[in-house]
Chains A and B, each alone.
Chain A
Amino acid sequence: MTVWERLRPYSMVAPAIIVFAMFFIYPIFYMMYLSLFDWNFVSPTKTFVGIQNFVDLLSEPDFRKVLSNTTLYTVLTVTLTTGLSLFMAIWLNRSGFFYGLVQGAIFSPHIISLVSISLLWSWLMDPEYGLLNWVIGLFGFGKLEWLSHPSTSLISLVIVAVWKGLGYNTLVFIAGLQSIPQDIYEAASLDRSRPWTTFTRLILPMLSPTIFFLVIINLIGSFQVFETIAIMTQGGPVNSTNTLVYYIYEAGFRFFKIGYASAAGVILLFIVGILTIVYFRLLSSRVHYR
């Protein structure tokens, strides 16, 4: 074997590996490195502080609030998006002009930029002049504060996230439903299966790979929510919508506490990593792959 033959496979994958290393591997390790220093982004000297940043973070009440906000936001977004879109998919999985129209309509938020969506929903949710308060006023309900009150601000953000994610998730579910052969339903009807039994015993298990996929990408996506918060609430009011990535952004790029922000980043990486591993370990054995 010549040297070239030995090297050829490596040279083939090199471009991908180099890009991956430069933009993913190196930043991760650099972040871990920075999390051990006190640095303000511009000063030529970085002061080594060991794990002091982590100690500070974990003893900071704000950070604990941020973690619980993020968790609550993620749990609500993932369950609502997945559940609602499964419901929509079952309803929309048929042909006809109307169903196509609804499918297209609920998918359209997916292709609109999050910045536009955030601005749009800020107007809709305006307590004084917003359309939402006007509509619920028609039904005789009192005005809601939406984004401006700590008790409703997080759920308002969840509503926006679900609205944006619904179309894409529904589309993936419809694709999953359509991969189930028609004769399975026919066999079930000959077996006197009631609709609910068919759903729980046949459709849900056969959709499990789709559900698994959607939950994991929604989970990771929700944990890293940033744009809507940056534009709609800036983490407020009183930290009620401050989430992990927004917290990192503020620490790093508003207060220039790079080491501190990096430590929070390491914790985010750790949490998402653990979640993913646990999810795969626990559930992949229960997923039915054809």
Chain B
Amino acid sequence: MAQIELIGICKKYKEETVIQDLNLTIRDGSFTVLVGPSGCGKSTTLRMVAGLERQTAGDILIDGQRVNDTPPGLRDVAMVFQNYALYPTMTVRGNIEFGLKNRGVSRKERERLISDISEIVGLGPYLDKKPQNLSGGQRQRVALARAMVKQPKVFILDEPLSNLDAKLRNQMRTELIQLHERLGTTFVYVTHDQVEAMSMGDEIVVMNEGAVQQADSPMKLYEQPANLFTAQFIGTPAMNIMKVGDIKGLRVQPESGAYHVGFRPEHAQINPDTPVEGLVLEGDILTRESLGAEHIYQIRSKAGAFFVKTFLKPLVTAERVRIAVPHGHLYYFSLNGSRVETSGGANEKTPSRQLIAGGV
């Protein structure tokens, strides 16, 4: 169990700066997910924590100890690799045992640990097989067992589920959450999949272009995105973003600096029965995606195309619809992308304003 602190981390590859002044604290015992588009530096950050790569500047602390010059094996960190990185020349038992042998764990103790671990991950019958004779899910379990058996302070997982098929991925996701609860160890998990991040992490760190965009709990990220990037990264489909100036009737306080307005597809109402105070648009439905319980519409308005998601409602067949989003579900962002607070004219509760606000 350990808290991880990254202080002023920079990483450069020759001339190219990958990470610039990264400051991050990963809580002891948390399931922290680093998420972001490819090339955002999340894997590099993870590898620096593991000691597989050296930061150009800054300090890394694990459990209060500076580990800048500590080799990977002595950091008390275990890692699960994307391609599992199992030792192909060894059996499953050999793979799990290797780290213990190198630590000088006695034979008796090794056997006890291996039988315990293989029971937890369900590898008992496969202990004497070579990794290449196992399925993807089984290999994944071997990789987990190899990491777990060392009882590390920190677990590091680098996109461990990306090589599995969708069904197995869901199953392993649940198992990993349970495993984390059982072990109580700090988990640091990297993924580019925001759904995976939202469903697994209790702390999510959204990264882009080598910088932390927001570090928060999943619900906070969803409800209170700190900036345009996070707002658009979390959620499927992404948050709809429009320019305030393109929407007639939407009044914002000019001093607030609001340049963009955003709303989540699931917060928009199609042809509301009662008048809604907030953003109102009119547009044509371009596409309809029906997933059973939910429908996703792509709608073109004069302010731009956007998505609307409805739950457990009949499919809208009309060509032209009116869309309304209540004030409480509108997000405003400045020109540089940071979130701004504005009353957005909510205090002018006049029905006339309500009528003016509409699709241009």
A→B interface (CB under 8 Å): 181, 183-184, 186-194, 197, 201-202, 205-206, 288, 290
Binding site for A on B (CB under 8 A): 50-52, 71-74, 77-79, 81-83, 85-90, 98-99, 102-103, 132, 146, 150
Complex-state Cα separation, A120 to B289, whole angstroms:
78
Contact B85 A186 (CB under 8 A): yes
B81: chain A residues within 8 A (beta carbon): 183, 186-187
| Contact between B73 and A183, CB atoms less than 8 A apart | no
Q: Chain A residues with Cβ under 8 A from B99's Cβ?
A: 190-192
- Cβ–Cβ < 8 Å partners of B74 in chain A: 192
Do A190 and B102 contact each other (CB < 8 Å), given the known contacts A202-B89, A205-B89?
no
Instruction: Give the A-B contact count at a CB cut-off of 8 A.
Output: 66
Interface of A is mostly: helix
Q: Do residues B83 and A181 form an inter-chain contact, with CB atoms below 8 A?
A: yes
User: What are 20 A-B interface contacts by the 8 Å CB criterion?
Assistant: A183-B85, A186-B50, A188-B98, A189-B51, A190-B51, A190-B77, A191-B73, A192-B99, A193-B73, A201-B87, A201-B89, A201-B90, A201-B98, A202-B87, A202-B89, A206-B88, A206-B89, A288-B88, A288-B89, A290-B132
By beta carbon, the residue of chain A nearest B132 is A290
A189 near B73: Cβ-Cβ < 8 Å = yes
Taking a contact as CB atoms under 8 Å apart, the answer to whether A187 and B87 are in contact is yes
Q: How far is the CA of A190 from the CA of B86 in the complex (A)?
A: 12
Distance to closest chain B CB from A13 (angstroms): 33
Chain A residues within an 8 Å CB radius of B90: 201
- Chain B residue nearest in CB terms to A191: B99
Q: Give the chain B neighbours of A190 by CB distance below 8 A.
A: 50-52, 72-73, 77-79, 99
Question: A187 contacts B79, CB within 8 Å?
Answer: yes
CA–CA, A194 and B72, complex, Å: 12
Q: Give chain B nearest CB distance to A1 CB in angstroms.
A: 41
Chain A CB within 10 Å — which of B79, B85, B132, B146 has the most? B85
Q: Quick check: A192 and B79 within 8 Å, CB to CB?
A: no
Contacts of B79 in A (CB 8 A): 186-187, 190
Q: Are A189 and B72 in contact (CB under 8 A)?
A: yes
A186-B50, A187-B81, A191-B99 given. 17 additional CB < 8 A pairs? A181-B83, A183-B82, A186-B52, A186-B72, A186-B85, A187-B86, A188-B98, A189-B52, A189-B72, A190-B73, A190-B78, A191-B98, A192-B99, A193-B73, A193-B102, A197-B102, A202-B87
Chain B residue contacts of A206, Cβ below 8 A: 88-89
Contact A192 B87 (CB under 8 A): no
Q: Could you say which of A190, A193, A197, A202 has the most chain B C-beta atoms within 10 Å of its C-beta?
A: A190
For A290, list chain B residues within 8 Å (CB).
Answer: 88, 132
Q: Which residue of B lies closest to A186 (CB)?
A: B52
Within the assembled complex, what's the spacing in Å between the Cα atoms of A141 and B50?
53
Question: Quick one: which of A184, A188, A192, A201 has the most chain B CB within 10 A?
Answer: A192
Contact B85 A191 (CB under 8 A): no
Q: Which residues from chain A contact B146 at a C-beta distance below 8 Å?
A: 187, 191
Q: Is the CB of B85 within 8 A of A184?
A: yes
Q: List, in ascending order, chain A residues with CB within 8 A of B78's CB.
A: 190
List the A side residues contacting B85 at CB < 8 Å.
181, 183-184, 186-187
Complex partner residue of A192 from B73, B83, B89, CB under 8 angstroms: B73
User: Which of chain A's residues have a CB closer than 8 A to the CB of B132?
Assistant: 290
Chain B residues with CB below 8 A from A187, complex form: 79, 81, 85-87, 146
Using Cβ atoms and an 8 Å threshold, which residues of chain A touch B82?
Answer: 183
- Give chain A residues whose Cβ lies under 8 Å from the Cβ of B72: 186, 189-190
Nearest-neighbor residue (CB-CB) of A180 within chain B: B88
With A187-B81, A201-B98, A202-B87 already in contact, the answer to whether A192 and B52 are too (CB < 8 A) is: no
Q: How far is the CA of A189 from the CA of B52 in the complex (A)?
A: 8
Within the complex, what minimum Cβ distance (angstroms) separates A191 from chain B? Answer: 4
Give 6 nearest A-B pairs by CB, closest first: A192-B73, A191-B99, A205-B89, A183-B85, A187-B85, A192-B102
Give Cα A288 to B132, complex, Å.
11
Q: In whole Å, how far is A216's beta carbon from the nearest beta carbon of chain B?
A: 20
A39 to B146 CA separation, bound complex (whole angstroms): 70
Cβ contacts under 8 Å, A288 to chain B: 88-89
Query: Residue of B at shortest CB range from A197?
Result: B102
B235 to chain A, nearest CB (A): 32
Distance in angstroms from A207 CB to nearest chain B CB is 10
Instruction: Report the Cα distance A266→B102, complex, angstroms.
Output: 52
- Residues from chain A with Cβ under 8 Å of B71 in the complex: 189
What is the distance, in angstroms, from B228's C-beta to the closest C-beta of chain A?
Answer: 35
Chain B hits for A205, CB < 8 A: 89
Closest to A190 in B: B72
CB distance from B4 to the nearest CB of A (A): 16
Complex Cα–Cα for A201 and B91 (A): 12
Complex CA distance for A191 and B79, rounded to whole angstroms: 10
Q: How far is B232's CA from A274's CA once the two chains are assembled, in angstroms?
A: 70
Instruction: Return B85 CB to nearest CB of chain A, in Å.
Output: 4
Asked whether B103 lies within 8 Å of A192 as measured between CB atoms, the reply is yes
Minimal beta-carbon separation of B227 from chain A (angstroms): 34
B103 cross-chain contacts in A, Cβ below 8 A = 192
A241 smallest CB distance to B (angstroms):
41
State the CA gap A189–B73 with chains docked (Å). Answer: 6
Q: How far is the CA of A201 from the CA of B98 in the complex (A)?
A: 10
